[in-house]
Amino acid sequence: MMENSSLNDHGNAQPAKSRKWIYVIIAVCVVALIGAFAIVAAAIGIYFYTYKSKPSPPPFERPANMRTANSSGSANNRPGTRSNGSPTDNLVNAIRSRSKVGSFDLQNVVPTISTPTFTNTIGEAKGIYVSGGKTITFTVAEYRNKAQAAVYLTRLMRERSEKGAKILSKAKVSQNGINGSFQDDKQTYYGFCNWPAGKASLCHLIAGDDAAVVEEFRQALQP
C-alpha cells in the first residue's frame, strides 16, 4: 500500500509541472504580444505625427507693386521704386526706358491692354524694335501672381498650337520662371515669364521673322 501511494504522488506531480510550464509559456507569449502591439502603436503614432508636421508647400505669393530690372532683361523701372501709374502705364514707361536692346532700337511702344496678346492680365504693353531689316515685337504683360503667369503662357502656346503653330520648345517650368517657343507660318515666338521675390510677375513674348532674329534679341535682353 505504501508503494502504491508513492507512485500516485509522483504521478500527480508530473501534470502539475506540465501545467506550470504551460502557464509560463502563455505568460511569455502574452508579454511578447503586448510588447509587439506597443511597438506597432508607437510606430503608427510617430508616422502620423511626422506626416502632420511636414510643412505645406509654400503658397503662391502676390508680388509687391514694384518694378526692377531682372535677369530675363524684362523692361522695368529702377530697382525698388514704386510707381503710382496703372500697370499698363508702368509697362509702357518701362519699355521706353529700354530704348536700345543690343543692336535693336525702339521705334514705338503702345499700350495693348484693350487688345491683349496674353489673357487676363492686369497690364500689357508692346514695343517695336528694329535693327537694319530685322523687326522684333516685344510684348510685356503683368499678372497678379506667378500662378496666373505660368497658366496663361501655357494657355497661349496651346491656343496657338490649336491654330496650327508648331511648338518648338514645350513650356518648361523652373523655380524662377517658365519659358517656351513656337512658330507659325509668319513668325517665330519665344515666351517667358518670371517672378522674382517681392517683384512683379511678368510675362514676355518676343516675336520675329525667324528664329535667329528672336534668339539674337533674347540674348541681348540678358544683362
Q: How confident is the model at residue 174 (pLDDT cuts 50, 70, 90)?
A: confident
Residues linked to residue 124 through DSSP beta bridges, in sequence order: 141
Does pLDDT of 47 surpass 80? no
| pLDDT score recorded for residue 26 | 80
Report how many helices (DSSP H) and strands (DSSP E) the chain contains, helices first: 4, 8
Mean pLDDT of the chain: 76
Does pLDDT of 124 surpass 60? yes
CB proximity list for 180: less than 8 A, separation 6 or greater: 153, 154, 157, 167, 169, 170, 171, 172, 190, 191, 192
| pLDDT score recorded for residue 35 | 62
Cell digits of residue 120: 487676363
Does pLDDT of 106 surpass 60? yes
| CATH number of 87-221, picked from 3.40.1000.20, 3.100.10.10, 1.10.3720.10, 3.40.50.300 | 3.40.1000.20
Between 24-28, 97-101, 210-214, the lowest mean confidence (pLDDT) is in: 24-28
d(CA 222, CA 147): 24
Does pLDDT of 114 surpass 50? yes
Q: What is the pLDDT of residues 190-218, one digit of tens each?
A: 999 998 877 889 999 999 998 999 999 99
State pTM to two decimals.
0.63
Cell digits of residue 189: 515666338
